[in-house]
Structure 1
Amino acid sequence: MNTRAYVCLLLSVVSYTNFSCATENGDTTWPLGVQTVVPALMPPPGGTEFYSYTVYYHADSYKGNSGRSAIPGFKLDNFVQALRLVHTWNYQTDSGVQFTSGLIGTGGHIKVEAGGQSDEKTGMRQAYITPLNVLYSPTPQLHLLGGVSVFTPIGGYDKRDLANTTPNYTTYISEFALTWFPHPNWEVSLAPTFSVNQRNKDTDYRSGNVFNVDYMVGYRFDSMPKLQFGVAGYYTKQVTDDDIDGTDLPNGNRLEKFAVGPQLFYSFTQSAGVVLKWLHETNVKNGPMGDSVWLEAAFPL
């Protein structure tokens, strides 16, 4: 559920040797904008939930360190499908702390164009493993989540190709979430993450670490209690430099993005619903600038 093209490999094909990219192949392992739907709410103790995430991302420009277009003829189309299972263990501490575990599998299709060159590929992307998340609700209106997870690459990878569906490196994620209902009609959610990327052994490239926060503010009208209207998005900032063979790249090539857009959330029941959202990116540095359309669903098992 990523939103960025495979730019470093692209550059080796079209010979823009004076330009380098933020995070290898212009890709982030964390799916930017995914956690805008009650991110701190999990299944009840003993319960299991199934989630589906479908996203299409399109970008027709790649911004450099100055925020200006940096690759002529650049275009990216990326379709990703992710399936997720989350289980809340039937245990609770005296203070009300609960625990969940989860697994996500992703795959999709990517197409990249630049400088008269084009490549596309379909395949698996990565698995996201959450051994344990901690849940705590200090009040019925405030819900908190925290944990550490890992993205591990799956599927084929060839450093000579312009497009690859997998980033080919492991990422460790510190994940937090807050969902607050200040009024029965209102919801405020924040989901910060911090990604620590490992080195790609095939290219000896290490992407910088990335901070991201997904956000959403939503409202339900009394006349339509099952339908929530919201404003959602994300802010992303790379906080360490990329490096090749231990040498930092010029200017750090640090990614920065802000995205915002409308979100509709329809609840069939308290634990089942469907979400449609459109997120538009602005203020981009060292990455593609585009739009994503999401369809998400959740159902208890």
Structure 2
Amino acid sequence: MKNDESWDQEGSMNIKLFGFVLALLELAAGDAIAKEGSDQYPNGAENWLAGVAPPPGNYFLNYFGHYGGSLHNGNGDKVPDASLSTWFNAFRLIHINEMRILGGNYGVHIIVPIVHQRMKLGDHDSVIGLGDITISPFGLNWHLGNWHWVAALDIRLPTGQYKAGNPGKSIGANYWSIEPLFAVSWLSEKGWEISSKFMYNIKSKNKEFRLGIGEPKMDYASGDELHIDFLVGKRFGLWGVGLSGYYLKQTTIDKLDGQAISPTLDPWSPGRKGEVFAIGPSVSYNSPTGTMFIAQWQHEMHVKNRFQGYTAWLKLIMPF
């Protein structure tokens, strides 16, 4: 058991953190959809052909859309006066090389997001600018009959604007992260597709964290996360319809100066972890020239310690 003095100290810290830190960690980040501070990857971005890398060459992808949602706490309850509305556009370049390693073609990519964010945490704040850039220096892809695989390593850079103590003016997460990933697609002769992308995000510390403007700097360590994009769909000629979505589960707790952050006012809570599941309709069109268009809407549910809302997407895939 902890003594009364330690309870008062930790309890006081948790009370202060509960209203602010939770919101700050759920602030818009430097990813394409700019939803959560602990997310630099735009969850749900990869669906149709997620595990199917194109033939050797150069490709341009564009992700455009909107996210809107309200903050939910560790019990899944809505936090009053805490909401987010974000427009985003991310540019992605992919190069697939003729070179083979372990039987798979070698590839690299870069993603550059631009974000316009409007956040309400009591007051309204808005900001527009560059988000956190993603690079992948190493990726391999394989094809065998109806099965297709991709394995790669993504590195996310803290290039987005970050204002310590002011989440409404922050786009970037202000930490580095690495993310090993594996994507797989099964395509049947009858037009059915099942695709999934499995990712594990490992983050460095944010050493510029502040509880408020003018407060002293602290080290914030966001927990690691397992997240999965998925799609089940059916093609009819050049068109495809299906359901796409994502699941995210935080696997380690958030820590502030090495101390676990409670998701409630209980200082003995096991720690704050985020979770979300989203699903919605998706439509694709493959033009005769090889350009692919995707439109989708994803609704979030079963949310803890994150914003809960929806994402509307338009995605373009084009060889050049």
User: Measured at CA, do residues 123 and 144 of structure 1 come closer, stay the same or move farther in structure 2, by a change above 3 Å?
Assistant: same
Contact 1:22–1:242 (Cα < 8 Å) also in 2: no
- Alignment match, 2:64: 54
**Shift of residue 22, structure 1, vs aligned partner:** 8.4
> How does 1:270-289 map onto structure 2 within 5 Å?
271-289=290-308
Pick one of 156, 163, 166 that aligns with 2:161.
Answer: 156
Q: Deviations for 1:34-58, whole angstroms, at most 9, x for unmatched residues? A: 111211222312x111000112100
- Alignment match, 2:48: 37
Corresponding letter in the other structure for 1:112: M
Q: For the pair shown, which has the larger CA radius of gyration, 1 or 2?
A: 2
User: Measured at CA, do residues 91 and 270 of structure 1 come closer, stay the same or move farther in structure 2, by a change above 3 Å?
Assistant: farther
SS at match of 1:91: strand
User: Measured at CA, do residues 161 and 183 of structure 1 come closer, stay the same or move farther in structure 2, by a change above 3 Å?
Assistant: same
Structure 2, gaps ≥5 residues long: 1-14, 28-35, 210-218, 263-269
SS at match of 1:21: helix
Q: Are 2:165 and 1:146 aligned?
A: no
- Alignment match, 1:293: 312
Question: RMSD between aligned alpha carbons?
Answer: 1.8
Deviates more, 1:169-178 or 1:23-32: 23-32
Pick one of 228, 247, 261 that aligns with 1:249.
Answer: 261
Pick one of 231, 236, 251 that aligns with 1:239.
Answer: 251
Corresponding letter in the other structure for 1:68: D
**Shift of residue 153, structure 1, vs aligned partner:** 1.6
Q: Deviations for 1:80-125, whole angstroms, at most 9, x for unmatched residues? A: 11101111111235x742111111111211111133x111100101
CA distance in 2, matches of 1:173, 1:290: 25
Contact 1:206–1:244 (Cα < 8 Å) also in 2: yes
Contact 1:176–1:192 (Cα < 8 Å) also in 2: yes
Contact 1:143–1:179 (Cα < 8 Å) also in 2: yes
Structure 1, gaps ≥5 residues long: 1-14
- Alignment match, 2:232: 217
Deviates more, 1:243-252 or 1:191-200: 243-252
- Alignment match, 2:5: none
**Shift of residue 21, structure 1, vs aligned partner:** 2.3
TM-score in terms of structure 1 length: 0.88
Corresponding letter in the other structure for 2:229: D
CA distance in 2, matches of 1:155, 1:275: 27
CA distance in 1, matches of 2:160, 2:247: 29
Q: Which has the higher helix share?
A: 2
Corresponding letter in the other structure for 1:257: V
Q: Deviations for 1:178-200, whole angstroms, at most 9, x for unmatched residues? A: 01113331010000110001111
**Shift of residue 270, structure 1, vs aligned partner:** 7.0
SS at match of 2:283: strand
Corresponding letter in the other structure for 2:61: Y
Structure 1: 4+ residue segments shifted above 3 A: 15-20
Corresponding letter in the other structure for 1:191: K
**Shift of residue 16, structure 1, vs aligned partner:** 5.9
- Alignment match, 2:75: 66
Pick one of 67, 74, 89 that aligns with 1:81.
Answer: 89
CA distance in 2, matches of 1:41, 1:82: 20
